[in-house]
Structure 1
Amino acid sequence: MKHKTGQTLTLCLLTCLGCTTVDPPADLSPLTNVDADDLRKKLDDELEYTFGRRLDLKQQATWQILHGALAYQREFEVIDAESETVSAVDYLLAGGAMSGWDIELVPSRIRPNPGIRALLDPGSKAGQGHQDQWFAVLAQCDLAPEQTIKVYGETVTMADFVFQVQQDVPRNLGREYSWTLIGLTTYLPTDAEWTGSDGGQWSIERLMEIELEQDLNRSACGGTHRLIGITMALNRHLAQGGELTGVWKQADDKIQESIAQAKRLQNRADGSFSIHYFDRPGMSADLAQDLGSTGHVLEFLALAMTKEQLSEPWVQHSVTHLCELFHRTREIGLECGALYHAAHGLVLYRQRVFGARSWKP
């Protein structure tokens, strides 16, 4: 595997074949299973190559870098100010400076330690774009509650981050709790209840209710982030012995409906998912747009479906298509959100179907 030294990713979505949106051609021929060994090799080849794309602290910001960490977790590496290759997550935990890593310590009246709050900077493509996005990414990096974090010379922990997120749920005026659910259900049982900074009673179930009320088609990335948060919370609820009743039954219904809709709207000609996500059919000659929609939908499916379901031909064909898309764009600078959400989808698929592995050489 050959990589260009210091290869970086640009902020621009590079359109490879134009921006034309077309109606998907009808293709009702039956799909056949893909050879499992061939599929695993394609996954490993493309994920190894993508791991080797290097971001540089002098050129990229937290928004790009933590998307990489979402896919590859603590193994994801960046080039620091001294031109050394370091773990991006470990660098942040040790108090390293990074453009867009805007964190503040919040004094508490009910506990000795301050809380940690990540500030929003939506649309900047440098700072946090969604409420609790950084918290959720770090939570998915398998950090223990006792994991220390250096902030302005003070040592705090992930538990302090959890506490502040709980306190701040009333501040989420956009009512987007996708990332909040991902992070909180990593550290709290799904029957957790607490008092927020508004004095109101909050719970994981209340956050789920709010998420389930939202319109997927009017949500970021076609509603995939909401579905991922709902799915991860439900998976943890069931793993803790919870039952499919009340809001959890509603969540399962939403997930199953969305799986069926993704399959219904899939472009059978090439295996890609609709560029309109769960709303209506559509495909595009723009490879970057294809990468974004197919990658985000696969990311959801890899969390929501069983190993047996993920081995069905229609899902295998979407994975094959995404691997081919990665291969065709190897030498192209890609927008990091689309690239690394797609990589995360492939990593999750690889874990669920073939088992986990390290991506470091």
Structure 2
Amino acid sequence: MISKHLACCTYLAVFVSANLTFGQFKEPNYAPAQQGVIQSPRIIPKTTHSSNQELLKLVDEAIEVSSRRYLIANEHSPWQIYHGMNAYRHDFLVDYNGTLVPASDWLSQTNPQFRGLPWFEKTVHGGRAHRFTKPYHFEGHPNQSLALMVMCNFPYEHTFMTDDGPITIQNIIDNAKADLNPREELTWTLWFLTHYLDEDDTWMTRRGETWNLEKLVQNQINTQVTEAACGGTHNLYALSAARNNHVRNGGEIRGVWLQADQKIKRYLVAAKSLQRPDGSFPTNYFRGYGYPKSFSEQVASSGHMMEWIVVGADQTQLDDKWIEQGIQHISEKLIKYRDESAECGPLYHAVSALVLYRERMNGVAWPRPEQEPSSINPLPAASTLTKIQESPAASEPATMSPEQSLEAKPLPEQTAKKPIDVTEQAMDGKISISIDESDLSRKPVATKPVEILIAPEDATIIK
């Protein structure tokens, strides 16, 4: 029996050897997976994400609807008007003697006063926006006014009038550098200076301290978010803007910039975990509790949160469902409560979030200081204003773009009237001035896609 088995094995070995020798034995011409032995992995083609066009239409509507709320020049406070300029930039219109004019043009061609005090002042180090006096009047934090005007992208030589003569943006930069005080909140100082200064700029303050942008970034990294203004959202916005400018200028994510990037990413994760199913955020921000009781409270936390999130997120993260839900929530609230009185801070930070989101989705470049804004239109003469007020053209829509002559279209009669409680509104930081929707049709300004900012991936971070 054993001999027969050995004989069979010998025969098989000889047969295989012979076939290999003459090339007649071949491997199967198919892979086992193709025969169902092992399931083959599916090849999924990589496709680019198409932006949510329906969401962008909703965003456009919310931005346009909210633009119909007008503040009154020389009545509403600088703090309120600055917030409007942060959201709408040169498209933010104010009621100036019965005519809608861009706030940036009005500020640049007059010496505006509020409660007998000038908006801008000359100093021994250059110039500045008027500092804090009362809540909701002038700036609430050092250099807040200038930070809120960054998106207007005024060039260095742009001038504002004071009681003692004109000052330039460069004068204001010089004063901000000289007057920097680490015992004060520096969030808005970083927000402002990161737009205008080069990273290698180093300066000495009037206190004899040496500072640069990296030191300002380190200061904001060390700032505790839950103890900072507006739930720390402005701290995260300033850090995000500074990091983005650093990357945009070819900088590497290492050292203090790596720390800033890590803080931003940590709080993006925290924000996502705190978001409610409807896309809103707690009224107490990162403390994680609190429910809104009014329209302003509904958009306050969500608007502030989404404003910094849109700036801090990577370009690919803007497609994430939770970010789209946050943008949708804000848009729906602004449209639904279009006729409700609103506080300027929450309202315009919410609008700013939508404008920033729309720009990033459309690839619009972040403004750079070397790019000059559109030319300033002359304000209407006093005689023209009188004529407009005497015979308003009721059939004309009250639209006004920076490119149009300011004499062209007056306010409708019902909006030229000032509310009885406008002074109280200004003191409370509120706004309830609006016009009939049927009298206004304002389309978003078309912009050309220029830039898509993509932060470095983790694999490219230099440690």
TM-score bracket, normalised by the shorter chain, equals 0.7 to 0.9
Which of 157, 162, 168 is residue 146 of structure 1 equivalent to?
157
Matched, 1:124 2:141: no
Which of 269, 281, 287 is residue 273 of structure 1 equivalent to?
281
- Taking only the aligned residue pairs, the percentage that are identical comes to 32
Residue aligning to 1:65 = 81
SS in 2 for 1:117: strand
- String of CA shifts for 1:160-206, please: whole Å, max 9, x gaps: 11111000102x532x1111111111111123210111111111111
Residue aligning to 1:91 = 106
State the alpha-carbon separation in 2 of the partners of residues 304 and 274 from structure 1: 19
State the alpha-carbon separation in 1 of the partners of residues 291 and 50 from structure 2: 22
Q: TM-score, normalised to structure 2's length?
A: 0.65
Deviation at 1:42, TM superposition (A): 0.6
Q: TM-score, normalised to structure 1's length?
A: 0.83
The answer to whether the Cα contact below 8 Å between 1:267 and 1:283 also exists between their aligned partners in 2 is no
Equivalent residues in 2 for 1:124-203 (5 A)? 124-152=135-163, 154-170=165-181, 173-174=183-184, 176-203=185-212
Amino acid at match of 2:122: L
State the alpha-carbon separation in 1 of the partners of residues 233 and 268 from structure 2: 11
SS in 1 for 2:128: strand
SS in 1 for 2:180: helix
- String of CA shifts for 1:28-73, please: whole Å, max 9, x gaps: xxxxx99812111111111011112111125311111110000001
Amino acid at match of 2:68: G
The answer to whether the Cα contact below 8 Å between 1:95 and 1:153 also exists between their aligned partners in 2 is no
State the alpha-carbon separation in 2 of the partners of residues 122 and 247 from structure 1: 35
State the alpha-carbon separation in 1 of the partners of residues 200 and 50 from structure 2: 41
Deviation at 1:101, TM superposition (A): 5.0
Equivalenced residue count is 319
Amino acid at match of 1:75: D
Residue aligning to 1:348 = 356
State the alpha-carbon separation in 2 of the partners of residues 90 and 119 from structure 1: 19
The answer to whether the Cα contact below 8 Å between 2:187 and 2:238 also exists between their aligned partners in 1 is yes
Deviation at 1:138, TM superposition (A): 2.3
Deviation at 1:355, TM superposition (A): 4.7
State the alpha-carbon separation in 2 of the partners of residues 191 and 235 from structure 1: 16
Deviation at 1:123, TM superposition (A): 4.7
State the alpha-carbon separation in 2 of the partners of residues 39 and 89 from structure 1: 30
State the alpha-carbon separation in 2 of the partners of residues 128 and 221 from structure 1: 15
The unaligned stretches of length 5 or more in structure 2 are 1-48, 366-373, 375-399, 402-441, 443-463
Deviation at 1:152, TM superposition (A): 2.0
Which of 201, 216, 237 is residue 225 of structure 2 equivalent to?
216
Deviation at 1:287, TM superposition (A): 3.1
Deviation at 1:230, TM superposition (A): 0.8
RMSD of aligned Cα (Å): 2.2
The structure with the largest alpha-carbon Rg is 2
Amino acid at match of 1:60: H
The answer to whether the Cα contact below 8 Å between 2:243 and 2:257 also exists between their aligned partners in 1 is yes
Amino acid at match of 2:316: E
Matched, 1:104 2:121: yes
